[in-house]
Amino acid sequence: MRHSRKVVVVSQHYPPDHSTTAAIMAAIAERIAQEADVMVVSGMPGSARAPSPGQPVVVEIRNWLPGKAALLKRALAEALFTGRIFLALLSRLQRGDVALTVTAPFALPYAVAAAARLKGAKSALIMHDLFPDVLVMAGLLRPSSLVARAMRGINALMFRALNAVIVIGRDAEKLLLRYGGMTPDKIRFIPNWASLTPANRPVDPDNPFRKAIAARFVVGLSGNLGFTHDPDIVFHAARLLRNESDIHFLLSGWGMGFARLKEMQAADQLANVTLVERVADDKLDALLSSADVWLIPYRKNVAGVSVPSRFYNLLAAGRPVILVSEPEAEAALTVSENRLGWVVTPERPDQLADAIRLASRSQDTAMAERAVATARTFSPERALASYAAVVQDLLSSQDVERTA
């Protein structure tokens, strides 16, 4: 059912940006546009798009995008962007609209929830990361610091104002319900999905990322290594396994964690480690098919704070996963429930090395089939239909309120 009111999707990242967040927000906006009028307010240069039938209108807000390593410049740029978004929403939102946003940059949801409340619109948040918990987990804030307490106070106001919070992990609910403004009926669980087609991909010795590696068993790492990831545990495990010639580490990615891996490898020159810079999207399938097992190394206290989007593509490639995290974290629950690999205690490189040895000797040939089958349950069609249903519920509730 198409309503006269519109849905405003707010995201700093949107195509032509190639980030995961951009792809997710574009897919959501385009799916909702099948049933409602959608306006995307984007912070990505070159994203503006004129109206066309059945497609979102994309409005581009001026934005400055400094490099990720320039933390102070990034903080200033994100503050300016958040302010511009707030003003843009005040002029574009109308009573009865629905505003949908995501937690990047971290202050963006506050501005969207406040603007929606002032304009009589409803608001929903897709929670990819929970702040300040992410910063505490990364060691950038103390749990009891003034900044952390202030952020939690603002969170309480925001969660009270929001009409729906979409979580991508079941482990987030416990943390959210600590806030007085949150109630279970506001929380909707919609996991992310694989961008690769789920299919078992046999190991090919001629794979371009593997053919130069003589070892029988390849351990892979791929993706953005940010605040929540622990590159050290991977490198220390590689050091523990340096004399086991049949095991080799293929490490690819970007971000501060990958820079840390390059520093450690430059110092130690481990023969069992190969570093590969970030690969283009059209080579991702080949990269994910090159390893026998994939690592996702989190810092401690990840449960409820962050969910790795890359996880679903690893399963789609038909590969087992070794996850460094608490056992109650969403990805760890999925691994354990479906017998897709191993879960390792954070900050224990010895346990990670042992898990890699177990994986290299595993006789469970059905694990690949289970990974692919599990990836099929995380389909984009299913997830996007759920997003559309949440928005329709919020739009319909406006009608109920007006007739009540």
> Is residue 11 domain-resident?
yes
- What pLDDT sits at residue 401? 46
- Report how far residue 162's alpha carbon sits from residue 104's, in angstroms, rounded to the nearest whole number: 16
How many structural domains does the chain have?
2
DSSP string, 172-190: HHHHHTTSTT--GGGEEE-
Does residue 202 have a cis peptide bond before it, meaning omega lies within 30 degrees of 0? no
- What pLDDT sits at residue 123? 97
Collapsing DSSP states into helix, strand and coil, what is residue 342?
strand
**178 and 232 within one domain:** no
**144 and 47 within one domain:** yes
Mean pLDDT by 10 residues, the chain (404 residues): 81 92 95 96 94 92 78 84 96 96 92 97 94 86 92 94 95 91 93 91 92 95 90 98 97 93 97 94 93 95 82 94 94 95 97 98 92 94 96 79 42
**271 and 168 within one domain:** no
- What pLDDT sits at residue 24? 93
> Is residue 257 domain-resident?
yes
Per the structure block, which two tokens stand in for 355? 């898990």
> Is residue 211 domain-resident?
no
**373 and 383 within one domain:** no
> Is residue 58 domain-resident?
yes
User: Which of these, 344, 336, 339, lies nearest to 170 by C-alpha position?
Assistant: 336
Per the structure block, which two tokens stand in for 181? 């403004």
Residue 30's H or E segment, with its range, is: helix 20-32
Residue listed under structure tokens 């390893």 = 291
Positive/negative CA dihedral, 279, 284, 287, 292 = positive
Helix 367-377 and helix 330-338: axis angle, to 10°?
130
**373 and 385 within one domain:** no
- What pLDDT sits at residue 3? 57
- Report how far residue 65's alpha carbon sits from residue 340's, in angstroms, rounded to the nearest whole number: 38
> Is residue 259 domain-resident?
yes
pTM: 0.87
Domain range for 248: 217-377
**52 and 149 within one domain:** yes
- What pLDDT sits at residue 397? 78
CA dihedral 103, 109, 111, 112 (to 10 degrees): 120
Collapsing DSSP states into helix, strand and coil, what is residue 82?
helix
Residue type, 66: P
- Report how far residue 233's alpha carbon sits from residue 8's, in angstroms, rounded to the nearest whole number: 41
- Report how far residue 98's alpha carbon sits from residue 389's, in angstroms, rounded to the nearest whole number: 13
**Helix locations, 186-243, DSSP H:** 231-240
**314 and 222 within one domain:** yes
**235 and 128 within one domain:** no
Do the beta carbons of residue 164 and residue 112 sit within 8 Å? no
> Is residue 210 domain-resident?
no
> Is residue 127 domain-resident?
yes
**89 and 179 within one domain:** yes
**306 and 244 within one domain:** yes
CATH number at residue 331: 3.40.50.2000
DSSP one-letter code for 12:
S
How many Cα atoms within 13 Å fall on the side-chain side of residue 36? 28
Within 10 angstroms of residue 112's Cβ, the number of other Cβ atoms is 29
User: Which of these, 138, 139, 172, 169, lies nearest to 155 by C-alpha position?
Assistant: 172
Do the beta carbons of residue 109 and residue 25 sit within 8 Å? no
**148 and 52 within one domain:** yes
**244 and 102 within one domain:** no
> Is residue 200 domain-resident?
no
